[in-house]
Amino acid sequence: ECIAVNGHLIVPGFIDVHVHLRTPGFEYKETIATGTKAAARGGYSTVVCMPNTRPVLDSKEMIQFVYDSAVKEGNCRVFAYGAITKGELGEELTDMHALKEAGVVGFTDDGVGVQEAAVMRRAMEQAAELGLPIVIHAEDESLAGNGCMNEGEVSRRLGLPGIPGTAESVHVARDILLAKQTGAHLHVCHISDADAVEMVRFAKSQGIRVTAEVTPHHLLLTDEQIDGTDANWKVNPPLRTERDRIACLEALLDGTIDMIATDHAPHTKEEKAKPFQTAPFGFVGLEFAFPLLYTHLVETGKMSLAQLVEKFTTSPAKVFGLPGGTLAEGNPADITILDLSQENVIDPNTFASKGRNTPFKGMKVKGWPILTITAGTITYRA
Ligand code: NCD
Ligand code: ZN
Ligand code: ZN
Ligand code: ZN
């Protein structure tokens, strides 16, 4: 829902369920202070952070550490996913009951991929019992190999090793069937492949409890824009084909994909200056996700403003049981004010995030947040 005042739009504070805050262990890439400041600047009141830190967020103590730090230095509400497995091996299950007690909103293998089906099945059985979602990165590492971009015409032309779409779709199909068997709620992260989207559509039609998110970059960019020299175009899952991009957009419109999440993944300038094959995967996204999509999807008539706002607010709140997401009575005062006529260039030099790694650099977009309020406190004012 939105309220127009003085040419500005009042909407519920945004919610991003996929953010890498990098703390602890990778504070040189991002901290809770800088990541949540970036979130507030982007109009977000709430973020859910990923556990691929060092140490991994695989214990009650680590979750408590993140939540305490967020209270001390945070600039928005922070929730965390607990890791599905301990450490960085993807093998031994965490104590999911203890993680739930510490306040996680789900369990994920993002950044520490679970490959074994039997491990994933046991995780789903436990998550179903605890009533929390399993949030999957969805990548078969044996198919992905050492690929650095989407496998296809472009990767072959550039002579770069590819990651096939099946590395994603095979895992999505498998985990949907495991969710059917275990009764777990499965949430698919950063969906990017047309066949994976089709699997989610089928699962929903069968009444299987599955939800999905898509990133701004998979909605707007394709591998055809990659020249193989600039690692600011390297992300996982990779930018795919126009056919995949359109499939994601259509699925967002028909409700197959529930929400938009940025997968904000900050890396340093030095890391992203490495050759395309060796640089780390990931894009930042918090500070410009809304204006970027407002400009490219709403102003172009592909979706309505109300629908876009829903994908940033009501929908993620509902799927993950998070506070906010609506302006209805009884909700916390999480409010974002947008100036739909304000047009600015996406300029990494102005970011609060330590990360500058985005392929959208230099793009001129409209619809910027000018004020963010979280739990009644102003957290950003332009
Ligand atoms: C993420 C990261 O850097 O932690 N990178 C990425 O390209 N998306 C990991 C992930 O989300 O899979
Ligand atoms: Zn991931
Ligand atoms: Zn991620
Ligand atoms: Zn104004």
Smallest CA separation from ligand 1 atom 2, residue: 265
- Residue 1 pLDDT: 66
Residue 265, ligand 1, Cβ within 6 A: yes
Q: How far apart are CA 321 and CA 304, in angstroms?
A: 25
Residue 114 near residue 83 (C-beta atoms within 8 A): no
Q: What is the pLDDT of residue 91?
A: 93
Residue 9: predicted pLDDT: 95
**Residue 137 in contact with ligand 1 by CB distance below 6 A:** yes
Q: How much is the pLDDT for 5?
A: 80
Task: Indicate if the alpha-carbon torsion angle 311, 312, 314, 315 is positive or negative.
Answer: positive
User: Whose C-alpha lies nearest to ligand 1, atom 5?
Assistant: 282
Residue 282, pLDDT score: 98
- From the CA of 214, how far away is ligand 3's center (Å)? 11
Question: Which of 263, 274, 353 has the most ligand 1 atoms within 8 A of CB, as the residue to mutate?
Answer: 263
**Exposed, middle or buried by CB within 10 Å (0-12, 13-18, 19+), for 361?**
middle
* Grouped pLDDT means (10 residues each) for the chain, 382 residues: 82 98 98 98 98 98 98 98 96 97 98 96 98 98 98 98 98 98 98 98 98 99 98 98 98 98 98 98 98 98 98 98 94 95 97 98 98 97 94
CA of 185 to the centre of ligand 4 (A): 41
- Which one, of 54, 118, 55, 119, lies nearest residue 84 by Cα? 119
**Which residue of 16, 20, 57, 148 sits with most ligand 1 atoms within 8 Å of its CB, as the best mutation to test the pocket?**
20
110 CA to centre of ligand 4 in angstroms: 38
Query: Which residues are tagged catalytic?
Result: 263
Spatial contact of 337 and 10, defined as CB atoms under 8 Å apart: yes
What is the rounded distance in angstroms from the CA atom of residue 181 to the CA atom of residue 174? 11
Taken in order 230, 349, 344, 266, the sign of the CA dihedral is positive
Q: Which of 155, 157, 206 lies closest to 179 in space, CA to CA? A: 206
| Angstrom distance (rounded) from CA 354 to CA 351 | 7
pLDDT, residue 69, reads: 98
Q: Which bound ligand lies closest to the C-alpha atom of 284?
A: 1
Q: And the tokens for 335?
A: 């409010």
* Residue 3: per-residue pLDDT: 77
